[in-house]
Chains A and B, each alone.
Chain A
Amino acid sequence: MSSEHTANRRAFLNKAGSTAGLVGLTAMAGCADDEDDPGGDDDGGADVDATDPDDLGEQLPTYTYLNNAQSYNPPRHDAVNLISDRLENIGLDMEVEVLEWGTLFNRVDVEYDYDFSTWHTFFTIDPVLEFSSTMYSENTSPGDGNFAGYENPDADDLMDQYLVEPDADRRIELVHDLQQTLMEDLPQMPIVDMPFLAVFNNEKVTNWEPDLPLGFNSYWTMINLEMLDGEETLVGYWPEALDTMNPLGHNDENKHTYNFDIMYDSVVRLDNEGEINTDVSLATDFERVDEDTMEYTIRDHTFHDGEPLTVDDVVFSYNYIADNEVPLYSVQANFIDEAEAVDDETVRIHMEEPLGPFNLLVGTQIPILPEHRWADRDEPSQVNIEEPVGSGPLQFNYWDRGAEFGLERFDDHFAPVDFEERIWRIIPEASTVWEGLREGDITYETFGRIDRQLDENRDLDQITVLTEPATSYWHCTPNARTEGLDDPEVRKAAFNAVPRTPIVEQILFDVPEPGFNVVSAAFGPLHTDDVTRYDEDIDAGIQRLRDAGYVFDEDGMVHFPAE
């Protein structure tokens, strides 16, 4: 074990809470004494030679790292404490403020009142779509999305070009340039690449194939699952109840997306290669007519209530969502001008402005609604729906609020599932879930929790754990509005200090991979390994600060140089 890791482990033991404590105990055997632990000084401050006091300018301000409560997300809570400890080791004066999640999210995402923050980025189907909200220079006003406070016209230009570029190869070049720019400027540090997890009882079901952006809970996964030994029911769980049966009235949380995605068809679907696959899509063919027009050929199909699904329903869905400015699809709606039926099987969609990856960002997202059910609904996002009717491979069966949600196979679907029904039980207690998985009462672990129980059970014969790169990561985001953190060199030094490997090994049970790029490998060709990388090395961070002109006082705290 390297001394760097030894130091990290000691810091971890000092800082981490009870959740990781047992794991930490195993690590303690390898810990050296305090004097051998250059990075483990709890009093903070870098272990450096002090600068002459006359050469010291103002000390960098005390930075507040907002942390979620331990009970909300134990591993992330521990990780933030550990990172904060390590940032002190390069001479930053840190304090951790623990907040209830809602308050924390509001402080960061709406008010921008923070210095460092960490959470799990959202699943997204396209990285630039996310960056165009969170990294775009114009979005730095409160509530506009750019909570990092990052401004770079070059990055904006790359995003703008990408979004209008119809050529896929050119888009790849642009997004490669963009991720290199972002990793050079470091408005956001990817701590850990969180994986898609498939955890299932292998005596019941097999053939798990992930897909963007929903991983092992995607449409592609469900239509490819193979049930074993005559099993007919796929049983999953979620720790809390669903909120609504309205496909236009939810808040995009996974628990809703995973269900509506399989109950409602979109015109096109992705396969496990991230490519549009018309064999399993409502559209049997598509064509870009010009830079701002797409045309789709719609197959014969029916809704769950037996009514035919026609091109008029497709036209209605697009126009209805755009005209009613449905908040959930506000991004997509911005790109939709109008949909029209060309003939009985062809739909043409005109864009408000050219959008290169239209299929990806819009075509795979907009649910096709039955016009005969929705035409009279004026407030689509606030409609209270008892029994949703879509056209996907699973149809609504029952919803026992707070207890269970049942879907059943739609036999007339063009891409049928192999099981008769899918049930989601609401089980808040994780140990109950694992007992169910071991016994086969629960078929798969839907939520994807990485915790000690996963570690303890993953080697059981009847349990299989699969991981694939996901599109999301734990980020550490410095607020560039804060003095000092507006300097990329300080951010880079901070990234040198972030103990990504110890977090993976000790807090996350070696399941994910340490992060190095804001565009995950899950995006396939959009991702590149060819970006600026940063060693996990306290000394490198300190040296980087020195090279940038910063100086250290006798306590090892970083100062601006004297005027």
Chain B
Amino acid sequence: MSKASFVVRRVLQLGVTFWAVGTVLFFLFRLMPGDPTSFVVSAQMTPEARQRIIESFGLNDPLHVQYIAFLRNALTLDFGQSFHTNEPVRDVIWTFLPNTLVLMLTAFVIAYILGITLGVFTGWYRGTNFEKGTVVTALTARSVPTFYVGLIVLWIFGAGLGVIPMSGMGTSGMDGGWWSRIFTTTFLHHLLAPAAVLAFYYMGYPLLIMRSSMMEVLSQDFIDVCRAKGLRERTIMFKHAARNAMLPILTAAAIALGYAVGGSVLIETVFGWPGIGREMVRAVLRRDFPVAQGTFMVLAATIIILNFVADLLYGYLDPRVTYD
């Protein structure tokens, strides 16, 4: 199969996948127990007022009518209007998603640079105390809950030493738009701790994958050939071994990056970061169907598309990969 055919087939598969995800989300939220209007109405509203709200949300329509309307709107990326804020879901997502992205991507980049580098060294220096120490650290990073690490960091560096802010993304009443804010030292100061805690957590995954992959590559004949040719150790390590060990990292990174879009509820909660993760959970708990559906669709779409991109990159990075 040619690359073009592969892409066409995968794009069609993506369409089916999006439909399946949207359908599951739609029915899943409606199968959840609890009346979404019970979160919107005041306890002192009259039954008639409550009924008017139900009708204004379209929740009195038959399920298939709601489903068709949902699919039709989703095609135009219109996920409706929040039951709680009366805002278009698109606006809700655009309010919170950038905050999450800047935090998660910062953490992600730090984690993957450090994780991959350390993974290369631990694979290379197999059996040494350095490897053992690094692996233990990586396992610890993956095992300790992030909110716990976050609270300890806040306790020591925030409450104790006073070198990091305790909460939020900036100081009170910061002027300017989002873009101008994120390039201020105040913002970077607020970003430091949550990004570091997340990076510490994320780092273990690429580190361990890279280490395993490196060990596999280092056992192959071409490494011996490199040595026989008299290449420098660092050249073999990075130019030949690490480059060939990178492929598994690519898939892992694509999936991890997709999940990063969903934010980290715990970190956003501990550090008071106004991100999409908290909003997503709040929407589910309050049965705000439009927001919940919209945010989950964005998360699903990111994972699906990044996986697709990773598949394409595989073929580009390793010519031996075929599209059969």
What residues of chain A have their CB less than 8 Å away from a CB belonging to chain B?
99-103, 105-107, 109-110, 122, 124, 129-130, 133, 143-145, 233, 235, 240-241, 243-244, 246, 249, 251-252, 325, 327-328, 330-331, 334, 379, 381-384, 397-398, 400-404, 406, 423, 425-429, 431-432, 435-436, 441
Contact = CB atoms under 8 A, between A and B. Distances in A.
B38 A110 contact: yes
Given A106-B35, A145-B43, 7 more contacts: A101-B285, A133-B43, A252-B42, A379-B56, A404-B172, A425-B172, A431-B151
Contact of A251 (B42, B56, B81): B42
B45 A330 contact: yes
Nearest to B57: A382
A251 B39 contact: yes
Given A143-B47, A252-B43, A428-B278, A105 B34 contact: yes
Interface of B: 32-35, 38-50, 52-53, 56, 81, 84-87, 95-96, 99, 151, 154-155, 158-159, 166-170, 172-174, 269-272, 274-275, 278-279, 282, 285-287
Contact of B167 (A110, A133, A432): A432
Closest 5 pairs between A and B when the two form their complex, measured CB to CB: A402-B274, A252-B42, A330-B49, A327-B49, A102-B34
B168 A403 contact: yes
B85 A110 contact: no
A129 B44 contact: yes
Given A103-B34, A401-B95, A432-B167, A241 B274 contact: yes
Given A331-B46, A402-B95, A423-B172, A432 B154 contact: yes
Nearest to A245: B85
A401 B273 CA distance: 11
A100 B166 CA distance: 29
Given A102-B286, A404-B168, A423-B173, A428 B272 contact: yes
A432 B272 contact: yes
Contacts of B172: 233, 235, 404, 406, 423, 425
A403 B38 CA distance: 26
A61 B292 CA distance: 39
B52 A327 contact: yes
Contacts of A100: 34, 285
Contacts of A129: 44
Contacts of A334: 46
B167 A427 contact: yes
A110 B38 CA distance: 8
A398 B50 CA distance: 31
Nearest to B43: A122
A133 B274 CA distance: 37
Given A102-B39, A105-B34, A402-B95, A382 B282 contact: no
Contacts of B56: 379, 382
Contacts of A384: 85-87
A243 B274 contact: no
Given A384-B87, A432-B154, A432-B272, A106 B44 contact: no
B42 A327 contact: yes
24 contacts: A102-B34, A105-B38, A107-B33, A109-B38, A110-B38, A122-B44, A133-B43, A240-B282, A243-B85, A251-B39, A251-B84, A252-B43, A327-B53, A330-B46, A331-B44, A403-B169, A403-B170, A404-B173, A406-B173, A426-B168, A429-B270, A432-B154, A435-B158, A441-B166
Nearest to B48: A330
B21 to A, nearest CB: 23
A325 B55 CA distance: 14
Nearest to B169: A403
A397 B174 CA distance: 12
A118 to B, nearest CB: 15
A327 B47 contact: no
B44 A252 contact: yes
A333 B47 CA distance: 13
Contacts of A382: 56, 81, 86
Contacts of B33: 99, 102-103, 106-107
A355 to B, nearest CB: 15
Contacts of B279: 402
B38 A429 contact: no
Contacts of B48: 325, 330
Nearest to A403: B274
Nearest to A253: B42
Nearest to B181: A400
Q: For A325, A328, A427, A429, which residue has the most chain B Cβ atoms within 10 angstroms? A: A429
A241 B82 CA distance: 14
A249 B33 CA distance: 25
B164 to A, nearest CB: 12
Given A122-B43, A425-B168, A428-B269, A402 B99 contact: yes
B16 to A, nearest CB: 32
Contacts of B43: 109, 122, 133, 145, 252
A517 B38 CA distance: 27
Given A327-B49, A426-B272, A429-B167, A398 B173 contact: yes
Nearest to B285: A102
A107 B275 CA distance: 31
Contacts of A233: 172
A38 to B, nearest CB: 39
A383 B47 CA distance: 22
A323 B275 CA distance: 39
Contacts of B85: 243-244, 384
A402 B269 CA distance: 11
Contact of A244 (B86, B96, B174, B269): B86
Nearest to A124: B44
Contact of B166 (A325, A381, A404, A436): A436
Q: For B44, B46, B53, B169, which residue has the most chain A Cβ atoms within 10 angstroms? A: B44
A325 B52 contact: yes
Contact of B34 (A106, A244, A435): A106
B98 to A, nearest CB: 11
A482 to B, nearest CB: 20
A427 B52 CA distance: 34
Q: For B85, B151, B286, which residue has the most chain A Cβ atoms within 10 angstroms? A: B85
B50 A327 contact: yes
Nearest to A244: B85
Given A102-B34, A244-B86, A427-B167, A143 B50 contact: yes
A409 to B, nearest CB: 14
Contact of B41 (A99, A327, A423, A429): A327
Q: For B38, B168, B274, which residue has the most chain A Cβ atoms within 10 angstroms? A: B38
Contacts of A235: 172
A328 B173 contact: no
A100 B286 CA distance: 10
A327 B57 CA distance: 13
A123 to B, nearest CB: 10
